[in-house]
A and B are shown apart, each in its own frame.
Chain A
Amino acid sequence: MSSTTLPQPHTASVEKFDCRDAYSTVLESMAEIDARVCAVVNDSVSSTKLKNFSKRFPDRFVNVGIAEQNMVGVGAGLANGGMIPFVCGASCFLTARAMEQLKVDLGYSKSNVKICGMSSGMAYGQLGPTHHSIEDVAWTRIIPNLSVIVPADPVETSEAMRFAREHEGPVFLRISRMPVCAVHSKDHRFLLGKAPVLRHGNDVALLANGVMLSRALEAADRLSLAGVQARVLNMSSIKPMDETAVLDAARTTRGLVTAEEGLVAGGLGGAVAELLAIKCPARMRMLGVPGVFAPTGSAEFLLEHFGLTADGIYNAALELMAEGK
């Protein structure tokens, strides 16, 4: 992580950061203090930023080669033997290729394995849909016992990693490769099942996570200038979800905008809609990838392409306002 001083709470920084630096730094620091912490990779030592870890802790670094089913099973076996494995690989392969292992070896078995899905979302934009990982949240969210976390910035990535080590049970951490703005101060603490309120407001609610959170904050700033007070919730903990915070937003605002770097179906938007449909039907706009394979282009281009921008969130919020109470 850069040594640059992080900005004040809940204001997106100008400088951008690679969350993988935070994740690998924290993994090494946890391995220093906890002999149970180990890493499993599928050849991708550099893209998981674990070169340094492999040099410092060679006895606790397992490279299974290009073999994701084996990789997740090996994680479950390491946990059986009392270790705390962090299984790290490109999210597109790690989730899809090892889906039954995620279901059976981790979720159903309640194995104490931490899955780090790297380069998630559309980070590999130019490589095309084979390498996009826009389905990973939907796939992991439906597996019982598996917690799903989408951190927004380096501080939250570090905190989520620390949480994962202390938490007994399987966790999926979706870690971005796209440079992101910092939005949390150093004293931020991640809490599973909690959606921190980053901005208060009772006109509309903006629910975002990952790379979309700083864009939601920017949209809230612009809405404020337009006289609309937007509440911003950090939905890093997709599962379990902070039902209280979401239901409160539904009851006290004119509507909710969800924004995520992935498929809306089954993702954050889907999760919020499932809850509201039963407990508090509310107006929604769901921003994300709308059930298509994304075209080719840089990650930034693709976010623009699907309206996953501060502009897109701003306009969706104004639409909700125009619909009245």
Chain B
Amino acid sequence: MNVIDLLITIIVVTILVTIALGVMTYIAYKLRLARRPSQLSDDSSTAQYFVLHEPPDGSEPGEADAT
């Protein structure tokens, strides 16, 4: 195998292996997500992703939080 053929082989293998690695790492990421506890304690069908924080009535900007 001459140098040109070797380089071609390296390039093709790199492309295919990188794409395969990307797919496998993505699958591994999804499996890790499935095993990890969710950050949200309640994930019901009506759950929103975030709970909107409402400052208490009568609070004013610039005051230190007492909690």
* A, B co-complexed: no
Q: Which residues of A contact B (CB under 8 A)?
A: none
